[in-house]
Structure 1
């Protein structure tokens, strides 16, 4: 198993974030956990410490550049410099363009695009000085296709472009930057929709060639691969869909066009 040094994970209390934390902890990494709930973060750090993992909390609202930098710098003082950044925090308003307002548009861009920028800005100088580092940003298939939630989708598309800019500009310093685009992932954030439509995951299954939606561990494993200098040391600027084949093609439409079962 690849061993990592200090890994910063944002959105660490969520379903995907929790799986990412667990995966890196099992790989022997030192962890910096960032999310908005300071008390829950400290409790998570304490549980990790009990299991033998060195960790620190960096509670912050990532939309606030100053608070984000201060929280990360305080955590780094306890753990040592950041080697891997996983920009996992995200979320947004559901709806159409017609129901999007200037305020909801700005809020989604602030969290999903500006937030990762603020996180990277807090650690990039240290990575440049050490001439090494790996950044893994979590975008979405929504950044590749029009699948609803337009403000969120536009921000996630911007995150793909930002990742490529990081790869090009900081590659000469030994810093790699890659982006993952998950499809549907079975996390607690879906619970409201599951409550309204218990069969929602079953109904979504038909769109995925692998005939299932992702589990958080599926995303965590892809993150760890791209973060690893041992396994992915010559990969940078890459966009990796982790979507069960969703963006490879439309199997439902293909079946209707060919009048054959897919």
Structure 2
């Protein structure tokens, strides 16, 4: 059990999703009390299953795009020592397929929702003179990879993270963001039904030759949330099997070398 997380409450948004479930399980096994937040009622059954396994967890159903609902959920969680803004979605793959309502939906579900959650817990962190916020962004925030509204929101999350780090560092509150690449979640099972080779096609873009596993994201988040990263704030860290290191497919074509 990690001494960094024992006795602490960690609020995790998007808790019913693939990465979210992994985060709840990971930190719960480290002795933390989990505040699991999701707009899907599936989070209630998930929380019960973890509670049956001996993990201290309470769940709340709320849409993070709605500030009042977020405030009520965070209040119910009590003292929130660490916030992990994991929730997010993308429903509009191209600019052409994105109308104004769709743009607003993706921005609200990603950027605005993360802000609402941070806004809800910052006062108590300031009062305690300590806390950590870890935002879950995406490599889409650094590079054009489709899903333009989602990508714009994730880019905004990077800027928001740096602003939080700048303004709240004097209260010993740290804010960092991880930027996952393609992560192996149940979402890809549905994609594989349509195209069984979709992951093989993606993997050739990754220098490590594979996509990211959920627990690999969790371990980087755990580092940033822990005392081991006590001097780290305002950082944006790709967790992407090397995707942002360069364009390996183009490099192979140019050099005619398979490296």
* TM-score, normalising length: structure 1: 0.95
Deviation digits for residues 62-103 of structure 1 (CA, Å, limit 9, x no counterpart): 111111111221232xxxx00100000001123211221101
Deviation digits for residues 154-178 of structure 1 (CA, Å, limit 9, x no counterpart): 0000000000000000000000000
Structure 2: which 5+ residue stretches go unaligned?
Answer: none
Give the C-alpha shift of residue 205 in structure 1.
0.7
Q: Distance in 2 between matches of 1:228 and 1:58?
A: 25
**Matched position secondary structure for 1:71:** helix
| Residue 150 of structure 2 is aligned to residue 148 of structure 1 | no
Equivalent residue number for residue 100 of structure 1: 98
Q: Distance in 2 between matches of 1:189 and 1:8?
A: 23
Question: Paired residue for 2:198, among 197, 200, 208?
Answer: 200
Equivalent residue number for residue 23 of structure 1: 26
Q: Distance in 1 between matches of 2:40 and 2:106?
A: 19
Equivalent residue number for residue 56 of structure 1: 58
Give the C-alpha shift of residue 53 in structure 1.
1.9
Which of 28-37 and 89-98 deviates more?
89-98
Equivalent residue number for residue 13 of structure 1: 16
* TM-score, normalising length: structure 2: 0.96
Q: Distance in 1 between matches of 2:40 and 2:247?
A: 39
**Matched position secondary structure for 1:7:** strand
Structure 1: which 5+ residue stretches go unaligned?
Answer: none
Q: Distance in 1 between matches of 2:9 and 2:76?
A: 14
Distance 1:87 1:189, change over 3 A: same
Equivalent residue number for residue 252 of structure 2: 255
Deviation digits for residues 124-143 of structure 1 (CA, Å, limit 9, x no counterpart): 00000000000000000000
Q: State whether residues 141 and 154 of structure 2, in contact with CA within 8 Å, keep that contact through their aligned partners in structure 1.
A: yes
